[in-house]
Structure 1
Amino acid sequence: MQRKLQVEAIQHGSVIDHIPAKQGVKILSFFKLTQTSEKITIGLNLPTKSGIAKDLIKVENTFISDDQANQLALFAPNATINQIKDFKVVNKFQVQLPGAFIGVLSCPNSNCISHNEPVKTKFYVNNNLDLKLKCHYCEKSFNRTFFHELD
């Protein structure tokens, strides 16, 4: 007999699905979702039909904006967002990687002018084989694992 785990449905909010395994905790931290008083359900390393594990995040009474969805693509380029109202999916869309990230990430280059000047950081997306972001100011390119959000 095969057992299935049941996860409680949410009445209103967002479900972020198809997150690559081990990225869910990073997403919670990046979007500061743990700093809310809303109910959050997290599934880590969940099995899929394809055999590749995934993470899942459900957040009550919180709707992921288009900007947040684009930022989410940095961690989970194939994620889908389900917006829930009255326990029903009213909107479902896949995240899309933007052409640039503005004012969201801190430059990993400690010598970059963005650390000492009152400017918004800006990174251009190079999505060839391996996703890299190029700083507008110091023009250095970095793998996504080097980045931290701005406080």
Structure 2
Amino acid sequence: MMEHTLKVEALANGTVIDHIPAGQGRRILKLFRMSESGERIYIGFNLPSRRTGKKDLIKVENITFTPAQANQLALFAPNATVNVIENFKVKEKLTLGVPDTVDGMLTCPNSNCITATEPVETSFRVSEKEGEVRLKCKYCEKTFARDAFAQLR
């Protein structure tokens, strides 16, 4: 019989984001400004996954993800799982769905957009076409593939 051992300490309270596509963990950390929280964060990159071969994992103490944050996460990790932990147990599993709009989170890739020079909160309308997520800027009206967003606000 195979023994199962924890390689990372269990969380008393917080959020666990699992099944992040390998290589997307850093982007998720920046996206949600987790390292700025001052809370303890456990990160695993390129961990083994039966489902996808490799995955990233993030555990953050004392921060509870909201359904809106889970939906924003779906832009970059649509098959991730988000578990809210309370007293060492899963209190809630958040369902991910791509949001209709994303406000104030991403920087417009168009350097000529007004959001690049003015203190205006960015806003994008999200659409999916043939499995590809596309984001259209409210201000410059240009449409971008999800991968164009290397810069986060």
TM-score (norm 1): 0.88
CA distance in 1, matches of 2:5, 2:22: 18
With over 3 angstroms needed to count, the CA separation of the structure-2 counterparts of 1:22 and 1:86, relative to structure 1, is same
Cα offset, 1:21, TM superposition? 0.6
The equivalent of 2:86 in structure 1 is: 85
Matched residue type, 2:125: Y
- Alignment match, 1:28: 29
Match of 1:135 in 2: 137
Aligned to 1:59, the other structure's residue is in SS state: strand
Whether 2:146 is the aligned partner of 1:144: answer yes
Counterpart residue identity of residue 114, structure 2: I
Count of aligned residue pairs for this structure pair: 150
Q: Return closer, same or farther for 1:118/1:82 CA change in 2, 3 Å cut-off.
A: same
What displacement does 1:73 show? 1.3
Q: Which runs of 5+ in 2 are unaligned?
A: none
Paired residues of 1:79 and 1:94 also in contact (CA < 8 A): no
Identity %: 51
Give the secondary-structure state (helix, strand or coil) at the position aligned to 2:49: coil
Q: What is the rounded CA distance, in whole Å, between the counterparts of 1:49 and 1:42 in structure 2?
A: 19
Question: 4+ runs of 1 displaced by more than 3 Å?
Answer: 1-5, 116-119
Where in structure 1 are there 5+ consecutive unaligned residues? none
